[in-house]
Amino acid sequence: MRTNRDCDSLAHDIWPTTRGFRYIGVACSKRYRSRVRVVQMLLTPVGHSIDGASPAEQERLGLSAGDEVLRLERLQYAGGKVRTFERSVLPLHRIPGIHVNRVQYLTLAEIADQFGVRLGRATERLSIVSAPPSVARALAVNPTDKLLQIDRVTTTVDGTAIEWRLAHVMEMSS
C-alpha cells in the first residue's frame, strides 16, 4: 500500500524529467495503487505589478497601509491548453531580495526555497463561480461559464501570511 509519503517522493522523482514544467498533482490511492497520473503544467506570466497593498490584500495577508506587494498574474497550461488563471500576491518585506524577473516563472515552493522562507500551512476555500470579466478574457471563456475558484492563503512556519493566491480553473475534460 502506498502512503502519502510514497506519493510525494514519486512526484518529486518525476520533476527532473519535466524541466520547465510543474506537476499539478499525483493521483495515488488504495484502489489505484499501481496508477500514477502526473499532469504537467507550464506557468506563463501575463502581468505583474508592485504597489501598495489594497484593503483586501491588507486583510488577507495581515499587512498595514503602505506595505508594498508584488502581484503576479499567470496562466497555467496543462496538456497544451490553458486551464488556470491565477493572481498571486506576495508581501515584498517578507521575502527579502525578491524580484519579479526572478520569480515570475516559479511556484511558491520554489520561491520559498530560493529566498530562505520556511512555508507552513495553506488554507484554501473552493467555490464555483461565474468567470469574472478579466478572467474570462484571459481564459477565452464566456463570462457565464462556471469555473472552480481557489482562494488560498499560505503562511510561514511561524504563521505569517506569505502569499494570497486567487485561481480560476477550467474543467479538465481531457
CB 63 within 8 A of CB 69: yes
Task: Give the structural domain span for 61.
Answer: 43-169
CA distances to 31, 50, 97 from 63, rounded to whole Å, are 45, 15, 19
How many angstroms separate the Cα of 142 from the Cα of each of 16, 126, 136, 161, 169? 37, 20, 6, 33, 14
**pTM of the predicted protein model:** 0.75
Per-residue confidence at 21, pLDDT binned at 50, 70, 90?
Answer: very low
CA 110 to chain centre: 11
- State whether 3 and 55 are in the same domain: no
Looking at the structure, do residues 153 and 93 belong to the same domain, yes or no? yes
DSSP alpha helix (H) spans, 80-122: 100-103, 108-114
What pLDDT score was predicted for residue 40? Answer: 59
Q: Is 50 helix (H, G, I), strand (E, B) or coil?
A: strand
Instruction: Give the CATH number, domain containing residue 118.
Output: 3.40.1410.10
Domain membership flag for residue 174: no
The count of domains in the chain is 2
Question: Which pLDDT does position 27 carry in this prediction?
Answer: 42
Q: Write the pLDDT tens digit of every residue in 33-49.
A: 444 455 556 788 999 99
Is the domain of 122 the same as that of 151? Answer: yes
* 78 and 149 housed in the same domain: yes
